[in-house]
Amino acid sequence: MGQTFLELYMLKKDPARIEHTRSVIDAMVASPRPGREDWWWCDALFMAPPVLARLYAVTGDKKYLDFLDAMWWDTTDFLFDPAEGLYYRDKNYIGKPDANGKKVFWARGNGWVMGGTVRVLQHLPKNHPTRARYVKLLQTMAASVARVQGEDGRWHPSLLDPAEAPMPETSSTGFFCYALAWGVNNGHLERKTYLPVIRKAWAGLLSSVNEEGRLGWVQQIGAAPAKTTADDNQEYGSGALLLAGSEMLKLK
């Protein structure tokens, strides 16, 4: 919600639009905890960091970027698997294989991270000392998810083990499509490599919208890969689809 109110503030500089958001974030900054404790699950990298980046953009106060940076990379050191280029959902999945002996990397969790990465980059200054590190993370994750895209353009709930839940999952597909398209549109991802991945993902998303306009195959609220059906929908799935569409409109 804070991201939305900050973007509304960018349209009309009414302090009331960000007063509560800023007070909450200021309290966090004043009493910092390690990222791995406060942002202990990977979804948090979509929830808080883009708010901090937008607060910096509207206030110019560098404390928000310093806090973002410290928290983001501590969480990443904790949850990111360099060998796979993906994030574990939380500590409960580190080093614990699924029933088929595969590492558990939740598709939507990694979608949240990629979405959060690009929404930080949107407002991170071009000369920021760690900007290149965020770009490199986007590139690393892009390569990892592209390798495991389904033939129909959508991703499965478990990225490295399609057999765990052998059906499509569209909230992750929406976030991946959004982040990949943003990366191409902004020159951070190679167009030739990723355009086919993006177009397949978009086609897969469109094929998942029924005659009533409802997006299906959205995994329900949870913390691990799970089965989906054509009737499953949640607001975050529709939101991911809309974010993807906002970048598809710009894709040449």
The token duo for 92 is 């409960």
Grouping H, G, I as helix, E, B as strand and the rest as coil, residue 5 is helix
The token duo for 31 is 């009493």
Task: Taking residues 199-208, report their average pLDDT.
Answer: 98
Q: What is the pLDDT of residues 66-82, one digit of tens each?
A: 999 999 999 999 999 99
Q: What is the pLDDT of residues 130-172, one digit of tens each?
A: 999 999 999 999 999 999 999 999 999 999 999 999 999 999 9
Mean pLDDT of the chain: 97
Specify the pLDDT at position 228.
98
Label residue 175 by pLDDT band (50, 70, 90).
Answer: very high
The token duo for 36 is 């791995």
In whole angstroms, give the CA distance from residue 233 to residue 7. 26
Specify the pLDDT at position 226.
97
The token duo for 103 is 């590492």
Q: Cβ(164)–Cβ(99) under 8 Å? A: yes
Task: Taking residues 25-48, report their average pLDDT.
Answer: 97
74 a catalytic residue: no
Is it the case that residue 126 has pLDDT exceeding 90? Answer: yes
Task: Taking residues 102-108, report their average pLDDT.
Answer: 98
Is it the case that residue 120 has pLDDT exceeding 90? Answer: yes
DSSP code at position 219: P
Q: What is the pLDDT of residues 181-195, one digit of tens each?
A: 999 999 999 999 999
Specify the pLDDT at position 38.
97
Q: Cβ(138)–Cβ(118) under 8 Å? A: yes
Q: Where are the domains of the chain?
A: 2-248
Task: Taking residues 13-25, report their average pLDDT.
Answer: 96
What are the φ and ψ backbone dihedral angles of 80, each rounded to 5 degrees? -85, 135
Specify the pLDDT at position 139.
98
DSSP string, 79-118: HEETTTTEE-SSGGGTT---TTS----BHHHHHHHHHHHH
Q: Which CATH number fits domain 2-248: 3.90.1150.10, 1.20.140.10, 1.10.150.120, 1.50.10.10?
A: 1.50.10.10
Q: Which residues of 48-83 are buried (b: 16+ CB within 10 A; e: fewer)?
A: bbbbbbbbbbbeeeeebbebbbebbbbbbebbbeee
Is it the case that residue 109 has pLDDT exceeding 90? Answer: yes
Is it the case that residue 252 has pLDDT exceeding 90? Answer: no
In whole angstroms, give the CA distance from residue 234 to residue 37. 28
- The residue annotated as part of the active site, out of 14, 43, 77, 90, is 43
- What's the chain's length in residues? 252
